[in-house]
Amino acid sequence: MCSPEHFAVEYAINPWMDVTTPVDAELAVKQWDRLRETLVGLGHDVYLLTPGAGLPDMVFAANGAFVVDGTVYGARFKHEQRTAEAAAHRAFYESQGWRFIAPSETNEGEGDFAYLPDAHGGLILAGHGFRTELPAHAEAQEALGRPVVSLRLVDPRFYHLDVALASIDDSNVVYYPGAFSAASQRVLAQLFPDAVVADDSDALAFGLNLVSDGLNVVLNSEATRLAGKLKAAGYHPVPVELAELKKGGGSVKCCIAELRH
């Protein structure tokens, strides 16, 4: 995770960002800190990346890389405003002794990649259409040695896979069908017949931008309907308030890069 102490909406690179809407930086830090405390309280280790001045989106740490079984496939951001974030993430992983593979193709890390270790022998779901380019899916497959299923995003409000779909355990997902092309919807229905399916109110509340440890599902407190569906499916919803960071187009998952040893 990376503190939002430099968080601001100084430019607009997704439909959620409005440079005329004021951001309360102090409140953003408080809400983010509560998210961090929630994860620690659930028994998880949280490593902190040093925020960079002039990089207001660095709080969205999920976008900096994608890690599977100790191998890190690095990010290459689409927009120049975020380009410098990639080097900070690389430095972190290399300092920790992880095997780092630098990308040639444009991709935004866990923003557009999700991993399900027990689904079909270990499966990567990968989004494209707005940020990550399709050739990055093939590059990730070569880097990580796992089959990659490409899913086309068609609604600019859901510009990353992680605002439209999330893994809720090692073999199942929750997703919002309307974010995907008709063909991708069919692929998801075939791969995950028992998926939790969200509606548009859940999706617009950033409810899909969640993290789960297989039991506890940490999600935006606005997504009350989705919390109910997850509870009915046997999971334990843990709501957190992240209204300030939503102004940047992100929520729980965007703030968290998962370290898969």
Which residues are catalytically annotated? 160, 254
Name the residue among 145, 150, 98, 110 with its Cα closest to residue 128. Answer: 150
Burial of residue 245 (CB within 10 Å: 0-12, 13-18, 19+) is buried
Go through 216-236 and write b for each residue having 16 or more CB atoms within 10 A of its CB, e for each that does not.
Answer: bbbbbbbbeebbebbeeeebe
What CA–CA distance (Å, rounded) separates 207 from 163?
8
What CA–CA distance (Å, rounded) separates 253 from 213?
12
What CA–CA distance (Å, rounded) separates 112 from 31?
24
Query: Over the Cα atoms of the chain, what is R_g?
Result: 17
Sheet order of strands, 196-197 included = 165-167, 173-175, 196-197
CB 187 within 8 A of CB 151: yes
Bridge-partner residues for 66, per DSSP?
73
Name the residue among 19, 22, 77 with its Cα closest to residue 244. Answer: 22
